[in-house]
Amino acid sequence: MGNINIRALAKELNLSISTVSKALKDSYEISVETKKRVLALATELNYSPNPYASSLRRKKSNTIAVVVPEVADSFFSLAIKGIEEIAQEKGYHVLVYLTYENYIKEKKILEEFKNGRVDGLLISVTSETTDSAHISDADLNNIPIVLFDRVIEELEMAKITTNDFESSYAATRHLLDGGCINIFYLSISKCLGINNKRIEGFIQALSDRNIKFDDSNIVNCSNDINDNEHLLTALLTQNNKPDGIIAGVEKLITPVYSICKQLHIKIPEDLKIASFSNSPVAHILNPSLTTITQPAFEMGKMAATILFKAIEKKGYTIKSENAVLRSTLFIRESTAPAATGLCPSFDLF
Amino acid sequence: MGNINIRALAKELNLSISTVSKALKDSYEISVETKKRVLALATELNYSPNPYASSLRRKKSNTIAVVVPEVADSFFSLAIKGIEEIAQEKGYHVLVYLTYENYIKEKKILEEFKNGRVDGLLISVTSETTDSAHISDADLNNIPIVLFDRVIEELEMAKITTNDFESSYAATRHLLDGGCINIFYLSISKCLGINNKRIEGFIQALSDRNIKFDDSNIVNCSNDINDNEHLLTALLTQNNKPDGIIAGVEKLITPVYSICKQLHIKIPEDLKIASFSNSPVAHILNPSLTTITQPAFEMGKMAATILFKAIEKKGYTIKSENAVLRSTLFIRESTAPAATGLCPSFDLF
DNA sequence: CTGAAAGCGCTAACAA
DNA sequence: TTGTTAGCGCTTTCAG
């Protein structure tokens, strides 16, 4: 009934509590005979140890926390999947927290980790997060932390990222090669480091080709769908019309495509589009979408793997671990050069 | 430093442990003055209570578990989001477990809940799950359970589902109205109740129109992508070619669309397609996809809300709660009748 | 209004 | 090889 504990087993078997405890842990101190008896009764009575008693005593929760801005997004879903897979292998439990791109929420959530609730933390910060004191705080409590994807540069902690500058550069270059001369970058946040790197890659590619541009070529989108629709409609109807777009985040593709359809803007003839995206359906979109695809699942796995290195080896520091994985540019129809038909999709790198 | 506990506060303030404990809980027994002092020191020392000590003592974890087959899927992502939102409101923590459609894993995961780790469980079973003893077991441990989407009929527990029969019927009817006479249903599992209801709706719609069909009109897909590609290629090249497809699950759409492109099968002219799907990009696919869309986010919220009713009111039973939410049929280009252009999408019900 | 004390269920010294 | 015992940090009677 759940209320069967180690004491009940001990009583039933005429053994001491500690003997039972050790037997259940398969301790070498206990005779094979006794172990058998204990195990038999345990399974018979459907005994299951109370994890919190154990956590309290051992100061170990066997639980990790994953804090992400969003889950209904291919990147984060895949990352969580990677994390969960490793955690399951290691016998750990995974607490998932969503921040909804809200810094206050993120801060409040991290408060919960200063007290032994989790043995480690994996986090990808919100687009509002500039201050990182809340993360340092968690660090001060000696819980190992791995930042992934949306990291904070200044923090001296383990970081798993992708080659954002290079992949953004490559995508921009690809649009330029296709004949674009007025490309706009759709950004999600002014403060996100990862976003800035992507923007830098974008700008560098333009500079390298001596294409003129200014701040207005960077469009700051919001987290609100309606706002974005207005913003994007304005962008696509303004005088200085874009002939190319790089979307810094997957969720902007739906409104962009919809608006183009509405306004009869032809992709890729009138407008070429590439997006950072992990959507599995990019290649069956109309037209199929050129994407910069991050190895989300692998990032999750790697982040978790590094975290467990710190958790398992006490005192071992992972603070300088700094993996940069490579994204892949999948070239598809949405960026096909003029007068060409269907491009087969392929991996650029 | 995390090792600051209630005892340290008490010592510092020359108060007893219990007074401090009560003060922190804002108990009416404690003077305003004392409360102030306690709170002040607590914040100053960055005190945070140990959740597991509290859980152990109160036999309450303030944690719920969500067990789902998959997370890189729009339906489950959205459902998790709904659940997490409610949990956050209530101040609960959410443990997420993925079963990867593996019954053994599911069983092992549920084992963990017989001991107070969680105060409640939300589960959508794997496509392999036929036996439900593991779920009844968890129930016997008095932890409230809400089954959602992929439920097990036989279990007398709270269930949140959608009108699978009706929506499948409506989708099939829609294909028939569009002129299909040889529709195939792509199924994920022979044992899943939800799947069977969808199949029944499908069959009923065919029967009602006196369309002949047999078991071969139900194609059992696997969880392996490669297997499915072969299966679907075979289906689309066989003599008895389908002129309509209903996909019982979102992830089959990518291979179906790809194969059609490869084989130059025109959608919707040669083949009309409708799919159960929560993908946000259905309407920008090529061609845009007719979907039966479940209210995934709302289902998650409702499932969590019902769970909390049971958690919060001790002894209150939710076992007979049985909400059936309505899916929406979004009619789009992939099922457009011959010679018609673009259909605006609308809600059929 | 405050405090003493028992104990949630388990672990780990230490003793026997 | 087994048992005794002292907590982990908190909550909650019950006394004062």
**pLDDT tens profile A73-117:** 999 999 999 999 999 999 999 999 999 999 999 999 999 998 899
Least CB–CB distance from B114: residue in A48, A53, A73:
A48
Residues of chain A with pLDDT under 50: 1, 340-349
pLDDT at B1 over 50: no
Q: Where are the beta strands (DSSP E) in chain B?
A: 63-68, 93-98, 120-123, 145-148, 158-162, 183-187, 218-220, 244-247, 272-276, 290-293, 322-325, 328-330
- Which ranges in B291-346 belong to alpha helices (H)? 296-312
Does A111 sit within 8 Å of B88, measured CB to CB? no
pLDDT of residue A345: 40
- Å from the A332 CA to the C16 C1': 77
Place B347 in a pLDDT band, splitting at 50, 70 and 90. very low
pLDDT of residue A189: 77
Q: Does A194 touch chain B (CB under 8 A)?
A: no
- Å from the B231 CA to the C6 C1': 66
- Å from the A17 CA to the C15 C1': 15
Residues of chain A positioned with their CB less than 8 A from the CB of B52: 52, 55-56, 61, 116-117
pLDDT of residue A274: 97
Choose from B107, B278, B284 for mutation: most chain A CBs within 10 A.
Answer: B284
Question: What does the H/E/C string look like for A182-243?
Answer: CEEEEECCCCCHHHHHHHHHHHHHHHHCCCCCCHHHEEECCCCHHHHHHHHHHHHHCCCCCC
pLDDT of residue B129: 87
> What's the rounded Cα separation, in Å, for the pair B24 and B30?
10
| Higher-pLDDT residue of B335, A349 | B335
> Tokens 């087959």 identify what position?
B69
> What's the rounded Cα separation, in Å, for the pair A155 and A110?
16
Residue nearest to nucleotide D6 (CA to C1'): A57
Q: Does B309 touch chain A (CB under 8 A)?
A: no
Q: Does B234 touch chain A (CB under 8 A)?
A: no
Q: Does A61 touch chain B (CB under 8 A)?
A: yes
Residue of chain A minimizing CA distance to B53:
A56
Q: What tens digit of pLDDT does each residue of B165-180 get?
A: 999 999 999 999 999 9
| Higher-pLDDT residue of B211, B67 | B67
SS3 B81: helix
Q: Does B90 touch chain A (CB under 8 A)?
A: no
List bases, strand D, within 7 Å of protein CB: 1-13
- Å from the A29 CA to the C3 C1': 42
Q: Fill in the DSSP letter of residue B141.
A: T
Tell me the β-bridge partners of B347: B330
List B residues 97-136 in contact with A (Cβ-Cβ < 8 A).
97-98, 105, 111-112, 114-117
Residues of chain B positioned with their CB less than 8 A from the CB of A141: 1-2
Place B339 in a pLDDT band, splitting at 50, 70 and 90. low
Q: Does A266 touch chain B (CB under 8 A)?
A: no
What's the whole-number mean pLDDT along residues B71-83? 96
Answer yes or no: are the C-beta atoms of A222 and A231 closer than 8 Å: yes
* Nucleotide with C1' nearest the A16 CA: D3
Q: What is the mean pLDDT of chain B?
A: 91
* Nucleotide with C1' nearest the A57 CA: D8
Token output for A229: 């629709």
Q: Which secondary-structure segment (H or E) carries B225? A: helix B225-237
Choose from A52, A114, A266 for mutation: most chain B CBs within 10 A.
Answer: A52
- Vertex B96 angle, CA B95 and B98, to 5°: 150
Answer yes or no: are the C-beta atoms of A123 and A64 closer than 8 Å: no
By C-alpha distance, which of B168, B237, B180 is closest to B213? B180
Residues of chain A positioned with their CB less than 8 A from the CB of B284: 253-254, 257-258, 261, 285-286
pLDDT at B338 over 80: no
pLDDT of residue B349: 34
What's the whole-number mean pLDDT along residues B20-49? 92
Token output for B161: 């589902």
- Å from the A19 CA to the D1 C1': 9
A126 min Cα distance to partner chain B (Å): 16
Answer yes or no: are the C-beta atoms of B107 and B130 closer than 8 Å: no
- Å from the B39 CA to the D11 C1': 18
| CA A340 distance to own-chain centroid | 36
Assigned CATH topology for domain B164-294+329-348 = Rossmann fold (3.40.50)
By C-alpha distance, which of B251, B112, B235 is closest to B189? B251
Answer yes or no: are the C-beta atoms of A272 and A178 closer than 8 Å: yes
Q: Fill in the DSSP letter of residue B243.
A: S
Global pTM reads 0.94
> What's the rounded Cα separation, in Å, for the pair B256 and B96?
30
By C-alpha distance, which of B321, B307, B320, B322 is closest to B143? B307
Assigned CATH topology for domain B59-161+296-325 = Rossmann fold (3.40.50)
By C-alpha distance, which of B250, B239, B344, B232 is closest to B292? B250
Place B2 in a pLDDT band, splitting at 50, 70 and 90. low
| Higher-pLDDT residue of B223, B282 | B282
What's the whole-number mean pLDDT along residues B9-20? 93
pLDDT of residue A301: 98
Residues of chain A positioned with their CB less than 8 A from the CB of B3: none
Tell me the β-bridge partners of B322: B159
B145 min Cα distance to partner chain A (Å): 15
Q: Alpha-carbon torsion A138, A142, A146, A151, what sign? A: positive
Answer yes or no: are the C-beta atoms of A315 and A301 closer than 8 Å: no
Q: Fill in the DSSP letter of residue B266.
A: P
Answer yes or no: are the C-beta atoms of B335 and B247 closer than 8 Å: no
pLDDT of residue A222: 87
> What's the rounded Cα separation, in Å, for the pair A249 and A294?
11
| Higher-pLDDT residue of A127, B138 | A127
Residue range(s) occupied by CATH 3.40.50.2300 in chain B = 59-161+296-325, 164-294+329-348
